């Protein structure tokens, strides 16, 4: 909303006031104004949640409620925001350069400082001495002072960072130098998407780098069982906090957050055990098998099939059924054991991942009322589909995964059980890791 009101003020010289729920009003007034718009827009804070309040309660709120920014009655605050003359514009001080080294201190004090600055995930870190960082930099041919990305902050604010910063964080996370190409690729993808809802991310690695650094794509791949998966996932947490500058309650406001963010579901595809005709994810997206790539996914839900596949109900039928609990973006990413992929190909006849995606797209349905009740749908697709919500007949079904290209199958696991997860993760495009070697 800030950018819309910014446009109206800047381009058309019309004063505005922004009404925002109290959960995000601090962001609008502070971080967003300082780093994104540069405009001290006037906000009035409404209570949260607002959606679904009865008209009577809304009327009462306008009569008796207060603006949580100024503490004035809400309508007085709205009118004042349009009438009270502007104060002298605040100065726009420069942010100081960050020194390359921190002031010498004891180990305990430095550990405390890193936690207080929110530079950690609150698990122990390796303190980044110059020697350790130098050793880490040997994992890439890129120069330490090369800029990896400039627009790195949430909403693309200017936070330029270098290869050396990535190496410092890699040391902190406990990485090995050979992880550097993967970590630089992962860092180059900030800003990662965030939401006030409980969204999450997934990192998928494809290609020869999997073998080179021993990323687990086999037995126990989704658990805390492999050094590379664990450290790379943890590094993403630190990149998010340090490079992107994400701070819960200041630049981000996820009410419950999501436990998947502890490791960002960092996995590699078990390319060696794909069924015949099923291509690795990066090859599906146009890369050569010999390319090493990284893909960041974004979504909300991670649903477990619970038991293993049974004979009397084909796996694709249960996958179809489970799509109903996804976020209704039309996207799905299935993470399945190689034995499930084999069943889908050999017993159920899906000769490629694409054939399976097409089947799911054609057959997945959801009750229309349930679909339009999902705020991800109504928020992202606008009001058109839900304006007649009350008139939707009970039992009306609609196809909710119309685009097969948004349905991904990732094969991972050790073939000790025919199990799978269905998620609503949307994939980004794979990016080359080789460029950061």
Q: Interface residues for other proteins in 169-208 (CB under 8 A)?
A: 169, 172, 196
Q: Interface residues for other proteins in 282-311 (CB under 8 A)?
A: none
Q: To the nearest whole angstrom, how small is the minimum distance from the Cβ of residue 98 to other proteins?
A: 5
Decide if 187 contacts 243 (C-beta within 8 A): yes
Exactly one of 29, 77, 137, 168 binds other proteins (CB under 8 A); that residue is 168
**Residue 66 preceded by cis peptide, ω within 30:** no
Q: To the nearest whole angstrom, how small is the minimum distance from the Cβ of residue 191 to other proteins?
A: 12
Exactly one of 310, 317, 380, 397 binds other proteins (CB under 8 A); that residue is 380
Query: Under 8 Å CB-to-CB from 296, ≥6 apart: which residues?
Result: 186, 189, 192, 201, 202, 203, 428
Q: How many CB atoms lie within 10 A of CB 379?
A: 12
Token pair 């180990």 is found at 107
Of residues 235, 259, 257, the one with CA closest to residue 247: 257
Q: Interface residues for other proteins in 5-64 (CB under 8 A)?
A: 5-21, 23-24, 28, 34-42, 44, 46, 48-51, 55, 58-59, 62
Q: To the nearest whole angstrom, how small is the minimum distance from the Cβ of residue 55 to other proteins?
A: 5
Q: Is 127 in the site for other proteins (CB under 8 A)?
A: yes
Give the binding-site size for other proteins (rule: CB under 8 A). Answer: 106
Q: Which is nearer to other proteins, 361 or 378 (CB)?
A: 378
Exactly one of 214, 225, 375, 396 binds other proteins (CB under 8 A); that residue is 375
Q: To the nearest whole angstrom, how small is the minimum distance from the Cβ of residue 176 to other proteins?
A: 18
Is 402 in a helix, a strand, or coil?
A: coil
Q: Which stretch binds other proteins (CB under 8 A): 282-290, 322-330, 361-369, 383-391?
A: 383-391
Q: To the nearest whole angstrom, how small is the minimum distance from the Cβ of residue 303 to other proteins?
A: 24
Decide if 206 contacts 280 (C-beta within 8 A): yes
In whole angstroms, how large is the CA radius of gyration of the chain?
25
Q: To the nearest whole angstrom, how small is the minimum distance from the Cβ of residue 39 to other proteins?
A: 5
Q: To the nearest whole angstrom, how small is the minimum distance from the Cβ of residue 200 to other proteins?
A: 20
Of residues 193, 205, 198, the one with CA closest to residue 233: 205
Q: Interface residues for other proteins in 62-91 (CB under 8 A)?
A: 62, 75, 78-79, 81-86, 89-91
Q: Interface residues for other proteins in 94-123 (CB under 8 A)?
A: 94-102, 104-108, 110, 117, 119
Query: Under 8 Å CB-to-CB from 278, ≥6 apart: which residues?
Result: 341, 345, 352, 353, 409, 411
Tell me the C-alpha distance between 258 and 106, whole Å.
34
Report residue 192 as tokens: 């990662």
């Amino acid at each position: 909303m800030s950018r819309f009101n910014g446009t109206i003020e800047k381009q058309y010289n019309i004063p505005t006031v922004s009404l925002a729920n109290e959960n995000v009003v601090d962001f609008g007034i502070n971080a967003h104004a300082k780093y994104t718009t540069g405009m001290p827009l006037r906000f009035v804070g409404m209570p949260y949640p607002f959606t679904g309040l009865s008209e009577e309660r809304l009327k009462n709120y306008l009569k008796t409620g207060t603006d949580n920014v100024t503490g004035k009655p809400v309508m007085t605050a709205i009118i004042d925001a349009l009438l009270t003359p502007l104060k002298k514009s605040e100065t726009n001080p420069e942010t100081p350069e960050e020194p390359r080294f921190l002031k010498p201190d004891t180990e305990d004090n430095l550990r405390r400082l890193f936690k207080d600055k929110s530079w950690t995930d609150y698990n122990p870190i390796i303190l980044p001495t110059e020697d350790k960082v130098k050793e880490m930099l040997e994992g890439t041919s890129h120069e330490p002072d090369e800029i990896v990305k400039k627009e790195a902050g949430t909403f693309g604010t200017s936070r330029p960072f270098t290869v050396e910063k990535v190496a410092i964080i890699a040391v902190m996370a406990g990485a090995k130098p050979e992880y550097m190409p993967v970590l630089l690729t992962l860092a180059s993808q900030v800003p990662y998407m965030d939401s006030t809802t409980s969204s999450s991310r997934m990192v998928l690695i494809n290609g020869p780098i999997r073998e080179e650094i021993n990323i687990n794509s086999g037995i126990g791949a989704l658990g805390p069982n492999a050094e590379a998966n664990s450290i790379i996932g943890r590094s993403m947490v630190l990149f998010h906090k340090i490079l992107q500058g994400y701070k819960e309650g200041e630049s981000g406001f996820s009410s419950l957050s999501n436990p998947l963010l502890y490791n960002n579901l960092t996995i590699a595809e078990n390319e060696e055990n794909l069924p015949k005709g099923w291509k690795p994810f990066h090859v599906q997206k146009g890369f050569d098998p010999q390319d090493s790539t990284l893909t960041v996914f974004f979504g909300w839900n991670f649903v477990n099939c619970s038991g293993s596949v049974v004979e009397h109900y084909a796996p694709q039928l249960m996958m179809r059924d489970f799509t109903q609990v996804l976020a209704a973006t039309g996207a799905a990413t299935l993470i399945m054991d190689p034995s499930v992929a084999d069943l889908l190909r050999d017993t159920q006849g899906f000769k490629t991942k694409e054939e399976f995606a097409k089947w799911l797209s054609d057959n997945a349905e959801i009750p229309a009322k349930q679909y339009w009740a999902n705020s991800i749908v109504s928020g992202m697709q606008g009001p058109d589909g839900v304006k007649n919500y009350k008139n939707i007949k009970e039992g009306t079904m609609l196809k909710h995964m119309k685009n097969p290209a948004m349905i991904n199958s990732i094969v991972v696991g050790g073939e000790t059980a025919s199990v799978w997860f269905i998620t609503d993760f949307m994939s980004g495009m794979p990016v080359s890791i080789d460029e950061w070697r």
